[in-house]
Amino acid sequence: MAKKDFEATLDGIESALRAVHQAVKDVDERQQVQKRACELALISKDKDFEASNWPRPSLRDARRSLKEHVQAEERSVQFTRGLLAKLDSIRDSVEI
């Protein structure tokens, strides 16, 4: 592999790593915001959050839905972190 090709490959891997790092950071921040919003909604006694004309799901259904949503995001984060680890491994094996 020519030095120029090698450097281009390494630059591409570094760019992908930066993008994955940023994606993981963004997901972590979004999860923190969503978790805090859920906590506030559950704690709050303020009736402004309720719309009396909306059908209200049971608490059990709401908890199940939230659990499914959180688990889906956790799987996404795990996948992204796995991808990041693989890219790190590729970069390490390419660097000589």
What pTM does this model have?
A: 0.43
Mapping DSSP to helix (H, G, I), strand (E, B) and coil, where does residue 22 land? helix
| Residue scoring higher pLDDT (95 or 76) | 76
pLDDT (tens digit per residue) in 78-88: 888 888 888 88
Judge whether 81 and 24 are in contact, CB under 8 Å: yes
Q: Give burial (CB, 10 Å; 0-12/13-18/19+) of 79.
A: exposed
| Count of C-beta atoms within a 10 Å radius of residue 65 | 11
Q: Give me the mean pLDDT over the 6-11 stretch.
A: 82
The predicted structure's pLDDT at residue 20:
82
Residue type, 70: V
pLDDT (tens digit per residue) in 21-80: 888 888 888 888 877 777 776 666 555 545 555 566 688 888 888 888 888 888 888 888
